[in-house]
Amino acid sequence: MVPTTVAGSFQNDRICEELSIGIPLLMENDSMEPIRRPECCIYRVPQRLRQVNEEAYTPKLISIGPFHHDGKQPRDEENDDKDLRDMEKLKLGYLKEFCNRTMTCPKEIARIIEENEQKIRSSYSENFDISREDFVKMVLKDSTFIIELFLRADKKEKYKNDYLLSNPLLNRHILEDLILLENQLPFFILEELHENFSKGHSENSLFIDLARNYFYSCIKNIPKEMEKEKGKKKEVKHFTDLIRYFHCPTKHKDFGDSIRDLSAATQLYETGVIFKLNELSGCLLDIQFDKWYPTEICPCFTCSWLLNCLPCLKCFECLERTQPLLKMPRFEIDDITEGIFRNIMAWEQCYYPLEAYLCNYMGLLDYLLNTGEDVELLVEKDIIVDSLGSNEAIAKMVNSLCLEIVEENSCYTELAQKLNKHFDQCCNHNMGILKSTYFSNLWRGTATVFGLIIFGFSLWSIIRPYVI
């Protein structure tokens, strides 16, 4: 009889021999884990996110960088490949114009790219089987195209006949592609090339100001503090990071646990929460819930019912402060909003998982906007500007944006706790019903008051003989 330990070792050896057939042995310096370089900042969108809406992450007109180099990636339509190849020819024309404008030659530009080649390659999450010569050529064409495009866009009147700028639809599609996370060049190489060759050809001495002007239509709300930062260098990784930067608050927010439960906008409105446009803040993420302290103790102190009937009284701040106000900045939603937010949220998932401001914002909206009625409420308050033409489409878009998003924490934890506390108080439900049923407008409120007066006189006439 073979001892158990010996039999076990024979079995293990046999398994190892079988495994060695299909699995190559690791060398001493090899690692089972993928290497994460400190310079890495340009990622492929995680597969599960991509499956939700693949088109939102894939360039349709122009490819930038190695991920979609020369359109060599699976696509659904052959026409898209043709468009990408045509744009490669246009890049060569822009390279020629850039060299003529700056009185330089491609070799001088390529020399700087060669010096930074390893740093540029390290910026990507994957290693590419592209020769040094081809890689430098790719970066040369892509970078000069971007800089030349931005320089022309900065002087639109002079280049009003430009092939791209004279076609608003084409220019819009280029802009959309330049925002995609997978379609990026590291920002530092664009800055360096602009600094060396084209700095004196624009009123904007910094490349970040050129980029900011070009993408201005995508940045709906720029905090006032950031408006004053023009002419100052900032550390930006790429264009997706730039758009995120201008959406983020200037001051760091405190993060707490992720939001697990929150009522929809119409439900909160029924408990007396008043949604108000926050016009003073330029930051999209600056959402505040203000509640007068006495109404915490006694909800009947609120004047929402009175202000509902007589909106002219809102000019008295002392009365308006008695209402539970949820102040939100204006959010403009159009055809490219989904693509912008999807790519910024994918970027945050990869690089800023613990400071995912835009993911947190969309997570909050995901709770507030469940139906078209919720969207309609915020549209009426001028908080949402709808360019899609359908409240249901906006609700569906917001709800789909958070699919497959992992939220480790949230900067709206305290806000959600305050709203949940308000919603859970029965008195607030009663006051909300009172306001919506009996004081929804001036005429209904007047009828309610007169009805109470008549009821009071009737009651007095009944009990008067017994009192006097």
Does residue 6 lie within any of the structural domains?
no
Does residue 464 lie within any of the structural domains?
no
Same domain, 239 and 316: no
Same domain, 52 and 105: yes
Does residue 456 lie within any of the structural domains?
no
Structural domain that includes position 419: 256-438
Same domain, 100 and 60: yes
pTM to 2 decimals?
0.83
Domain boundary among 215, 247, 279: 247
Does residue 467 lie within any of the structural domains?
no
Integer Cα distance of 285 and 305 in angstroms: 29
pLDDT tens sequence across 356-372: 999 999 999 999 999 99
Q: Given its phi and psi angles, is residue 184 left (phi above 0), alpha (psi -120 to 50 degrees) or beta?
A: beta
Integer Cα distance of 245 and 444 in angstroms: 48
Say how many residues make up the chain.
468
pLDDT tens sequence across 285-297: 999 998 766 666 6
Average pLDDT over residues 69-82: 53
User: What 3-state class would DSSP assign to 329?
Assistant: coil
Domain boundary among 184, 219, 247: 247
Does residue 298 lie within any of the structural domains?
yes
Pairing of the two strands 409-410 and 256-257: antiparallel
Integer Cα distance of 90 and 69 in angstroms: 15
pLDDT tens sequence across 140-184: 999 999 999 999 998 888 888 888 888 888 999 999 999 999 999
Same domain, 87 and 233: yes
Same domain, 283 and 232: no
Same domain, 290 and 163: no
Same domain, 192 and 339: no
The number of domains in the chain is: 2
Contact 275, 377 (CB under 8 A): yes
Average pLDDT over residues 222-234: 61
Percent of residues, the chain, with pLDDT higher than 90: 50
Helix (H) / strand (E) element for 305: namely helix 304-309
Same domain, 210 and 302: no
Contact 71, 84 (CB under 8 A): yes
Same domain, 181 and 328: no
Domain boundary among 223, 247, 271: 247
Alpha helix (H) residue ranges in 381-441: 391-401, 413-424, 426-438
C-alpha triplet 87, 88, 92: angle, nearest 5°: 110
Same domain, 82 and 129: yes
Same domain, 243 and 346: no
Same domain, 266 and 237: no
Strands, DSSP E only, in 309-408?
325-328, 331-333, 384-386
Integer Cα distance of 361 and 287 in angstroms: 9
Q: What confidence score (pLDDT) does residue 29 get?
A: 43
pLDDT tens sequence across 38-68: 889 999 999 999 999 999 999 989 999 999 8
